[in-house]
């Protein structure tokens, strides 16, 4: 069955809680779609509120503003095509949460249908049972001669396994198979993760084949706090083949026409797509919190170099301030590498020596603690915290935000200093393992930023042994297993929830190495509770979906089976 009419998807970038601003975006996109000849316009899930709304849903005034916006959208359709819009609605029941996650159909200025999301995700970062009551019925509407079935996000993932088990017993797609709909519409706020866009097309392709009808997937785009939404909306034919698809990471109005099979967007490589999404997350975090500039402590290492490159490409080199903060033990090559990175990227660059400040603080500490000298760990942490203090001070003075360059591997094993190198507003690399950071660096050197002819990351940065450089001759491998081992264990333990024996079988790590990494992960829980949010790009990040206690015993996890 071919696409029965011209359908437009509003792939927009909402600000959570800015109901009037989000409504304006939708109306502008609706008019653009109307001018392009659309016969039906579809928005993402909770398009007026933005996703995830979290406890803003408890604020009556924001919900009242949403009702006003819905009335504005209803009137817009008096002289235009029908509109299916995602929003909250009052639940018609006496128990449970007072709201539903809903979609309303406006046609000729009238409400012609309403659907409430039947499957509410409550796992990982999602907690919709906290706010919404579950819908119980399908919804089929007739738009001219076309029968349209409606679903919302999770409804299409009813058989998806999360944490090793199916989450739902209800199949919201089944009624549309029985109804023989001409078109299935899904309003989504589906977060990005590496390789998810292709897996979505595969899943919705199966739905299209099953109901023998085209499928419309309308997805939100943009960064909201640590969660990234790629958009990548699409319309599939009844055989699952793409009719049209949108570019990842960009707001746009996507038009699908019954006989147009030539407008599909090309899918970039995994690392290039990751790079674009991280940049989107940086850019939106600043835009939506009201900041223009960022501060990055550039050490001459791989993490700070890649973080600076991402920031420069996201918001422009003029808005990125790189600062190197050498101590007496900092190698001259580190200082020169930091300067070369800044020059290659065209960002602002300054140097602040920390030796005198560190010495003053160590003298003060030594004056009230026993012994003739401070402990080695104290000396190392003071250096990192002096750097953090200076970066935050410059940020305060310039009304800027500090970006934290720490990666997922370091966050996992606690290889960072609280209130030191871990200070900042957000960690763009916080869900990227060390090896993924290197892959991003190679991508920057292969696909250069538009404003430079030089590879931004020098070979000397790529080739040096990773080091925190807080002690003489220190390298990371002195304290934790090599990153190829650490990364593999982190992926299996954090991402796949595998036990010690499984990890030994599935990686090249020895049992002792696996134990070492897991011990570091469990002991470092307190640090992750106090560090900046990380832009989420995998199935399991250290974010609101990672809820392990601090004061707990993890001895059973480290016990051999």
**How far is the C-alpha of 305 from the C-alpha of 456, rounded, in Å?**
8
Please answer whether residues 374 and 367 qualify as being in contact, where contact means their C-beta atoms are separated by less than 8 angstroms.
no
Catalytic residue, from 6, 39, 66, 117: name it. Answer: 117
Q: Name beta bridge partners: 554.
A: none
Q: Is 117 in the active site?
A: yes
- Residues 6 or more apart in contact with residue 193 via CB below 8 angstroms: 536, 537, 538, 539
**How far is the C-alpha of 148 from the C-alpha of 156, rounded, in Å?**
15
Q: Measured in whole angstroms, how far is the alpha carbon of residue 270 from the centre of its chain?
A: 15
- DSSP 8-class letter at 134: P
**To which residue do tokens 């001895």 refer?**
555
Q: Annotate 532-555 with b (16+ C-beta within 10 A) or e (fewer).
A: bbbbbbbbbbbbbeeeeeeeeeee
Q: Is 153 in the active site?
A: yes
**How far is the C-alpha of 273 from the C-alpha of 265, rounded, in Å?**
13
Catalytic residue, from 45, 66, 380, 469: name it. Answer: 45
HSE, CB side, 13 Å, CA atoms: give it for residue 457. Answer: 27
**How far is the C-alpha of 314 from the C-alpha of 336, rounded, in Å?**
24
The helix (H) or strand (E) run that includes residue 235 is: strand 234-236
Count H helices and E strands in the chain, helices first.
16, 20
Q: Is 23 in the active site?
A: no
Neighbours of 163 (CB within 10 A): 10
Catalytic residue, from 39, 66, 153, 434: name it. Answer: 153
**How far is the C-alpha of 219 from the C-alpha of 229, rounded, in Å?**
8
**What are the C-alpha distances in Å from 77 to residues 22, 41, 72, 480?**
17, 10, 9, 61
Beta strand pairing call for 110-116 and 99-107: antiparallel
What residues are annotated to the active site? Answer: 45, 117, 153
């Amino acid at each position: 069955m071919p696409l029965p009419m011209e359908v437009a998807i509003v792939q927009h970038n909402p600000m959570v809680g800015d109901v009037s601003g989000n409504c304006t975006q939708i109306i502008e996109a609706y008019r653009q779609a109307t001018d392009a000849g659309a016969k039906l316009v579809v928005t993402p899930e909770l398009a007026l509120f933005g996703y995830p709304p979290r406890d803003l849903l408890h604020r009556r005034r924001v919900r009242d503003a949403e009702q006003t916006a819905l009335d504005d959208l209803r009137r817009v359709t008096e002289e235009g095509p029908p509109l299916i819009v995602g929003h909250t609605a009052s639940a018609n029941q006496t128990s449970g949460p007072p709201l539903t996650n809903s979609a309303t159909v406006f046609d000729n200025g009238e409400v012609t249908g309403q659907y409430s999301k039947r499957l509410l995700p409550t796992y990982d970062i999602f907690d919709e049972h906290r706010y919404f009551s579950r819908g119980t019925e399908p919804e089929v509407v007739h738009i001219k001669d076309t029968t349209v079935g409606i679903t919302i996000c999770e409804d299409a993932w009813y058989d998806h396994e999360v944490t090793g088990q199916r989450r739902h017993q209800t199949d919201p797609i089944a009624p549309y198979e029985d109804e023989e709909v001409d078109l299935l519409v899904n309003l989504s706020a589906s977060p990005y993760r590496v390789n998810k866009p292709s897996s979505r097309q595969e899943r919705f392709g199966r739905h299209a084949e099953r109901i023998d009808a085209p499928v419309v997937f309308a997805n939100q785009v943009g960064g909201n706090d640590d969660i990234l939404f790629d958009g990548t909306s699409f319309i599939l034919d009844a055989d699952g083949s793409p009719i049209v698809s949108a570019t990842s990471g960009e707001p746009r109005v996507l038009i699908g026409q019954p006989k147009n099979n030539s407008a599909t967007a090309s899918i970039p490589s995994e690392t290039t797509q990751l790079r674009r999404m991280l940049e989107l997350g940086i850019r939106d975090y600043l835009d939506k919190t009201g900041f223009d500039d960022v501060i990055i402590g550039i050490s001459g290492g791989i993490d700070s170099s890649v973080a600076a490159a991402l920031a420069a490409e996201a918001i422009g080199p003029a808005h990125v301030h790189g600062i190197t903060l050498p101590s007496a033990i900092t190698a001259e090559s580190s200082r020169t590498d930091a300067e070369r990175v800044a020059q290659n990227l065209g960002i602002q660059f300054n140097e602040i020596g920390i030796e005198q400040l560190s010495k003053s603080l160590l003298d003060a500490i030594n004056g009230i603690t026993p012994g003739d000298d401070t402990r080695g760990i104290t000396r190392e942490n003071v250096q990192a915290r002096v750097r953090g203090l200076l970066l935050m001070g410059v940020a305060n003075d310039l009304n800027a935000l500090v970006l934290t360059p720490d990666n997922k591997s370091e966050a996992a094993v606690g290889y960072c200093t609280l209130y030191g190198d871990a200070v900042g507003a957000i960690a763009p690399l916080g869900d990227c393992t060390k090896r993924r950071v290197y892959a991003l660096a190679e991508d920057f050197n292969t696909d250069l930023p538009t404003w430079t002819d030089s590879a931004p990351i020098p070979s000397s940065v790529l080739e040096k042994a990773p080091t925190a450089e807080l002690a003489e001759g220190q390298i990371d491998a002195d304290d934790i297993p090599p990153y190829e081992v650490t990364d593999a264990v982190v992926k299996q333990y954090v991402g796949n929830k595998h036990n010690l024996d499984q990890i030994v079988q599935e990686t090249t790590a020895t049992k002792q190495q696996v134990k070492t990494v897991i011990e570091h992960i469990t002991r470092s829980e307190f640090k992750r509770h106090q560090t900046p949010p990380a832009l989420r790009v995998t199935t399991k990040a250290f974010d609101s979906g990672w809820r392990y206690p601090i004061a707990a015993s993890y001895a059973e996890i480290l016990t051999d089976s």
